[in-house]
Structure 1
């Protein structure tokens, strides 16, 4: 049971820190009934017991009206009065003294801007504070301290506030509309200026081109270099081979056959030498 209680307490504290902006050290306002309960059940020191319940460091407060109420209760609450004097005093801005519950309601206000935890044993006061958004309540049960779960009205307030933050208000809508209009106007002005600059640049380019043309005409300078077209030339005679006369192969073959016959004939005809002179020389010797 103790582990489940601690988990439940941590869940409530995380919800308060996330949705209502509570920060450590947590500030706790104690009324006379709660101080008297702590002393009667010997739950001391109070700051240590409350820091264990909230699982964080705490700072304890009370009000002048609570102290005055403990004084009026007499000697039965003398120890509670002495313990209340040791607590820090929360400012309550009212001239006449009020009851403790009315004073605490004034300190909390409509939305608990100071982010106070309220520790009380008064059931009627707890019911009143359950209607105020962002007010976690602590009460004692014998020698244990419990953190009361947030009421349905407090959770509904958180839900409505989150939905409101997700939507745009009328003022934000007007501001956004005005900014969009200003952006469109600036874009149109930029476009018009760019168009004017482009037109001016084109005019300057045309004027410079005309001036150049006029100066060239006056000076007799042609627009571009005049090149002669190259005509097709014949081949280099030194790099060409000499032409070879092509003869009829039949003629060549005929000549070769005739030459062949002549050679054969010339070879076949041998010169016959006469031996008469040789014989005459031999006889004369």
Structure 2
């Protein structure tokens, strides 16, 4: 289980490094409650935080948090001595304020200085989860735990990735200049459509008549008789040049052929 947790912490800190610019040594901002818990449980705070963050760290504390330890009396002197061993972080508060408010003010709205917050205060952890890019460390049952990324952190990470993939203004100008302008496509005007050839009535076809006189041919209008192959009669004319009608033309007698008798 410890190996799986270490792998998850390494992956989480790699995400903070690539998306929010965290670098080693990580700046760890400690509050007064964390100092008291580590003294009561006899834990090595520096070693534990280094193993959780998987890297070198720089321990820091604000003047307001140290002032809280002073107010608790001489019984908390070991916690005061531990806090004095850390680097002092200037919070620019002329008068001491509660430690939770001091750390929230130092972190701000965007965690500009990339602090890792080590705190046991539950209200402070809830308020810092709304700030993107803030790793939070706390102790649960003598185990140092790095909280998973909050929803605001994941949204900021996704937004940063989209901005990194989007082309810059100069790149857009270069792409626009390199891309040929497409010519507008002219739509053809649709004219009147002709009739559907499948719905039209077929034309009546006159079949060729056989070369037989008096062949009957059937078409769409009915049956008619066509004379094909008959000899055309020659119209004779009168002496003055007028053409004779077929009724007035003289009938020629058919010559009879005689067979020659063989003697």
Same fold flag (TM > 0.5) = yes
How far, CA to CA, are the matches of 1:14 and 1:76 in structure 2? 40
Higher relative contact order (CA 8 A, sep 6+): 1
The runs of at least 4 consecutive aligned structure 1 residues that moved more than 6 Å come to: none
Deviation per CA, 1:5-59, whole angstroms, max 9, x where unpaired?
1111111111111111111111100000111111111112x21221111121111
For 1:33, the equivalent position in structure 2 comes to 33
After the TM superposition, which residues 99-110 of structure 1 pair with which residues of structure 2 at under 5 Å, given as runs? 99-110=98-109
For 1:56, the equivalent position in structure 2 comes to 55
For 1:81, the equivalent position in structure 2 comes to 80
How far, CA to CA, are the matches of 2:110 and 2:152 in structure 1? 13
Bigger Cα Rg:
1
Structure 1 residue 94 corresponds to structure 2 residue 88: no
For 1:220, the equivalent position in structure 2 comes to none
Deviation per CA, 1:211-266, whole angstroms, max 9, x where unpaired?
xxxxxxxxxxxxxxxxxxxxxxxxxxxxxxxxxxxxxxxxxxxxxxxxxxxxxxxx
* Contact 1:42 1:143 (C-alpha < 8 Å) held by counterparts: no
How far, CA to CA, are the matches of 2:110 and 2:18 in structure 1? 16
* Contact 2:117 2:136 (C-alpha < 8 Å) held by counterparts: yes
For 1:42, the equivalent position in structure 2 comes to 42
Shift of 1:165: 3.3
Uncovered stretches (5+) of structure 2, i.e. residues with no partner: 178-263
Q: Secondary structure at the match of 2:139?
A: strand
RMSD: 2.3
For 2:197, the equivalent position in structure 1 comes to none
For 2:210, the equivalent position in structure 1 comes to none
For 1:140, the equivalent position in structure 2 comes to 139
For 2:111, the equivalent position in structure 1 comes to 112
Which structure dedicates a bigger proportion of its chain to strand?
2
After the TM superposition, which residues 1-285 of structure 1 pair with which residues of structure 2 at under 5 Å, given as runs? 1-44=1-44, 46-167=45-166, 172=169, 177=173
Which structure dedicates a bigger proportion of its chain to helix?
1
Q: Secondary structure at the match of 2:28?
A: strand
Moved more, 120-129 or 6-15: 6-15
Q: Secondary structure at the match of 2:100?
A: helix
Relative to the length of structure 2, the TM-score reads 0.63
Uncovered stretches (5+) of structure 1, i.e. residues with no partner: 182-285
* Contact 2:19 2:160 (C-alpha < 8 Å) held by counterparts: no
Shift of 1:176: 6.1
How far, CA to CA, are the matches of 2:4 and 2:39 in structure 1? 26
Shift of 1:94: 2.7
* Contact 1:41 1:142 (C-alpha < 8 Å) held by counterparts: no
Q: Secondary structure at the match of 2:157?
A: helix
* Contact 2:138 2:146 (C-alpha < 8 Å) held by counterparts: yes
How far, CA to CA, are the matches of 1:6 and 1:63 in structure 2? 29
Count of aligned residue pairs for this structure pair: 178
Q: Secondary structure at the match of 1:38?
A: helix
For 1:267, the equivalent position in structure 2 comes to none
How far, CA to CA, are the matches of 2:18 and 2:163 in structure 1? 16
Relative to the length of structure 1, the TM-score reads 0.58
